[in-house]
Amino acid sequence: MNISANVSSLQANQTFMNNNAHNVANVNTDGFVPTKTNISDAGGSIQAKSSLSSDNGSATSQTDLNKEITDQVVIENVNEVNIKAIQTQDQMLGSLLDIIT
């Protein structure tokens, strides 16, 4: 069992959450263009790619709070799954070491 995919997923989702928090913090900033984050699988390693959303020329912030809040729920759930997988592997390794010693 290899936890590197879980760790890379946690790191990618941290980038996603940071961008998400930045977008929410600027919801009242005039002319703000939010950052979008794409999560992808790069051969067993999960990566986050950030880029600015398309600028629609609005004088107000272009942050969509409905999208940002929904994304936060998804990020939280993904992190819980990855943490549980790491904890399970840690428990299995501990049990194995107890058997060996």
Q: By the 8 A CB rule, do 50 and 37 touch?
A: yes
Q: What percent of the chain has pLDDT over 90?
A: 72
Q: Is the pLDDT of residue 7 over 70?
A: yes
Enter the DSSP assignment of 26. T
Alpha carbon distance 24, 68 (integer Å): 7
* Predicted local confidence at residue 90, as pLDDT: 85
Q: What is the pLDDT of residues 26-69, one digit of tens each?
A: 999 999 999 999 999 988 789 999 999 999 988 999 999 999 99
CB-based contacts of 46: which residues, under 8 Å, 6+ apart? 5, 8, 9, 11, 12, 39, 40
HSE-up (13 A, CA, CB side) for residue 48: 19
What pLDDT is recorded for position 84?
Answer: 94
Share of the chain above pLDDT 70, in %: 95
Overall pTM > 0.85: no
| CA 27 distance to own-chain centroid | 20
| Cα Rg of the chain, angstroms | 18
- pLDDT score at 92: 85
